[in-house]
Amino acid sequence: MKYLTHSFLLIFLASTPPLSATDLTTWNLWPGEAPGEIVMLPPESYRTNDTRLTAGKPVSRLQNVSVPTLTIYKPDPKIDTGSSILIAPGGGFTILAYDKEGTEVAEWANSIGMTAIVIKYRVPGNVHNPDKPWLAAAQDGQRAMSLVKSRSDEVGIDPDRIGIMGFSAGGVPVMYTALVSDRLYDSVDSHDDHNFRPAFAAPIYSGWWMPEETNLSEATPPFFMVITYDDKDRSIGLSETYIKLKKAKVSAEMHIYSEGGHGYGLRRTEKPVTSWSDRMEDWLRHKGFLEN
């Protein structure tokens, strides 16, 4: 099976439409079936619950993903920094909030000169692995980073300036690339010869914190984290992650906002958390990722 297919994807989003599909590229994540894949799911589809709005808009929820992919969004060449970011939408391992935490985030990344690569990882996780519903997301995240590093020349990005960010359940690909040394699947081809450590990691209102397999070292990338006080126990988990990074002398910046709840994405509201992406842009600039 070829990895590269030009995107004639018909992404039916019920709110903000995706970026222009004219120049998008989509890669299959695996050369064949994903590791341990034995399930047969109904066709992928989007469902929208008009009663669950974010900033007054519905969210397109992608379901039944058994063939994970990467879709690449390039910025205007005039502002292209050569840096890139993998984006893992959330969805509780059951669906992917593909517009709110995927394509809309890609548009933001493009606006600051970064190539954006949206990870469509396998869901629902409890079908792919009943005992570890997070495992498919973690495997797909590790594979995504190795594959992008291996093929960085094809999309004109710097392999040493590839970061990863994830929202809610999408924090799993972040944590299992940035904090774990061992691959969660047997190497399948030469792309896996490239390590899966990102240049930076950004768990945003992550519902997943430090894995048991965490290995903090000089190789651990810098972290940028966002959470709100009113985001249940997630604010405790992510705060404890910051403390552990601090004790290990890993560079980390964390923003705790008083209000905002969970699942806000980049959509602007009156809540204090709504400006978090401005702070991340400042951080990326300070760290040198937005230099041409």
Task: Answer whether residue 170 shows pLDDT above 50.
Answer: yes
SS3 146: helix
Does the bond joining 124 to the residue before it have cis omega, within 30 degrees of 0?
A: yes
Q: What is the DSSP letter of 61?
A: E
Task: Answer whether residue 149 shows pLDDT above 70.
Answer: yes
pLDDT tens digits, one per residue of 62-80: 999 999 999 999 999 999 9
Domain boundaries along the sequence of the chain: 4-286
List 214's β-bridge partners, or say none. Answer: 180
pLDDT tens digits, one per residue of 74-115: 999 999 999 999 999 999 999 999 999 999 999 999 999 999
What pLDDT score was predicted for residue 20? 43
Alpha-carbon distances, residue 69 vs 28, 30, 245 (angstroms): 5, 8, 31
Task: Answer whether residue 18 shows pLDDT above 60.
Answer: no
CB of 68 closer than 8 Å to CB of 145: no
Dump the DSSP string for 224-239: EEEEETTSTTHHHHHH
Q: How far apart are CA 202 and CA 95, in angstroms?
A: 21
Q: How far apart are CA 60 and CA 99, in angstroms?
A: 6
Average pLDDT, integer, range 194-221:
95
Q: How far apart are CA 200 and CA 166, in angstroms?
A: 12
Q: What percent of the chain has pLDDT over 70?
A: 91
Task: Answer whether residue 200 shows pLDDT above 90.
Answer: yes
CB of 231 closer than 8 Å to CB of 205: yes
pLDDT tier at 165, thresholds 50, 70, 90? very high
What pLDDT score was predicted for residue 38? 77
pLDDT tier at 53, thresholds 50, 70, 90? confident
Task: Answer whether residue 151 shows pLDDT above 80.
Answer: yes
Q: How far apart are CA 96 and CA 90, in angstroms?
A: 6
Q: State the chain's maximal CA–CA distance in angstroms.
A: 49
Task: Answer whether residue 5 shows pLDDT above 60.
Answer: no
* Stretch among 13-27, 94-108, 177-191 having the lowest mean pLDDT: 13-27
Q: Retrieve residue 282's tokens.
A: 């400042």
What pLDDT score was predicted for residue 50? 67
Instruction: Please work out, in degrees rounded to the nearest 5, the angle formed at the alpha carbon of residue 50 by the alpha carbons of 48 and 56.
Output: 115
Task: Answer whether residue 206 shows pLDDT above 90.
Answer: yes
For the stretch 70-108, what's the b/e string if a residue is b when 16 or more beta carbons lie within 10 angstroms of its beta carbon? bbbbbbeeeebbbbbbbbbbbbbbebbbbbbbbbbbbbb
What pLDDT score was predicted for residue 238? 95
CB of 142 closer than 8 Å to CB of 120: no
Q: What percent of the chain has pLDDT over 90?
A: 81
Average pLDDT of the chain to the nearest whole number: 90
User: Does the global pTM surpass 0.85?
Assistant: yes
> Is the pLDDT higher at 115 or at 23?
115
The CATH superfamily of 4-286 is: Alpha/Beta hydrolase fold, catalytic domain (3.40.50.1820)
Task: Answer whether residue 10 shows pLDDT above 70.
Answer: no
Task: Answer whether residue 22 shows pLDDT above 70.
Answer: no
